[in-house]
Amino acid sequence: MTDAPTDFTTLMQLEDHGPDTWIGISPPYPWGSRIYGGQVVAQALNAALRTVGDQYRPHSLHAYFIRPGDVKEPVRYEVDRLRDGRSFCTRAVVARQAGGAILNLSASFQVDEDEAEVQTARMPLVPDPDDMAPTRPDWPWIMARRQLPSYTGAGQAIGWVRLTDELPDDPRLHYCGIAFTSDTFQFGAARSIHPLQVPPEQYLEAFMGASLDHAVWFHRAQRADEWHLYDWDCHGLVGARGMTVGNLFSPTGTQIATVAQELLLRRRRPR
């Protein structure tokens, strides 16, 4: 595993490194050496999936980002089989690099059950993604994004996203793909309610940002290589932390997942 991945399927091809342990590597990113948080979540979920039966599908994950990962170094995923039940099973995953743990993730899996299905969430009215300009910075080799403007005071960020390469029909790969895309757009919702408002090109000069913890509840399956819409709301800012909650919809308005993330949005102070 010496060559950097150039597509999502290759990114998910973890290398066996002992009992319930796998190694993953990273692609280059346009912003530098920090690993994109959604990648570590997706690879950790993929490692957990390798320890559960085919009858289980992920229904939730909860993750803490402990320290930034370095794209130049492989990531070691260690899975702990916490529980195996007839309907549910639970796994814990620690992602490590040389400096220590970079992510701690818990995931729960469930067999399909024929029970009531009701949806109350409604997808907002938005333009078709093909009618929107690409969002910058674009990742032409792995993820395409189309984001609507985040207006001052709105506390909302909305955008379409999809993986760019056509994926196989493996449903587990698509769950990992949704986990990968779930760490995007949320900062726009938090920035829109911050008292300090700057043009987008000055965000990195004015703020230091990072994902702190991240949760996804999977409601229904969705192909990750087809457009899906994230609708984020920021519930408030306190102590340099912003609380964001999002709904994920298919193009037809079906709710695919609920996502929550607490993020760090800290003003850069003059030296």
Q: What is the pLDDT of residue 200?
A: 81
pLDDT band at 111 (very low <50, low <70, confident <90, very high): very high
Q: What is the mean pLDDT of residues 42-68?
A: 97
Asked about 261 being catalytic, the answer comes back as yes
Question: Which residue in 183, 192, 222, 225 is the catalytic one?
Answer: 183
Q: Closest Cα to residue 246, out of 161, 164, 168, 157?
A: 157
Which residue did the predictor score with more confidence, 80 or 27?
A: 80
Q: Closest Cα to residue 61, out of 12, 112, 110, 106?
A: 106
Interval 162-174: pLDDT, tens: 999 999 999 999 9
- First vs last C-alpha separation in the chain: 41
Looking up tokens 């899996």, which residue turns up?
109
Q: What is the mean pLDDT of residues 188-215?
A: 91
Q: What is the pLDDT of residue 140?
A: 58
pLDDT for residue 220 is more than 60: yes
Cα distance between residue 259 and residue 271, in whole Å: 36
Question: Which residue in 211, 222, 225, 255 is the catalytic one?
Answer: 211
Asked about 97 being catalytic, the answer comes back as no
Interval 222-257: pLDDT, tens: 999 999 999 999 999 999 999 999 999 999 999 999
Q: What is the mean pLDDT of residues 186-212?
A: 91
- What the chain holds in terms of domains, given with CATH numbers, is 8-112+127-267 (2.40.160.210)
Asked about 211 being catalytic, the answer comes back as yes
Question: Which residue in 43, 147, 156, 261 is the catalytic one?
Answer: 261
DSSP string, 171-187: HHHHHHHHHHHTSSSHH
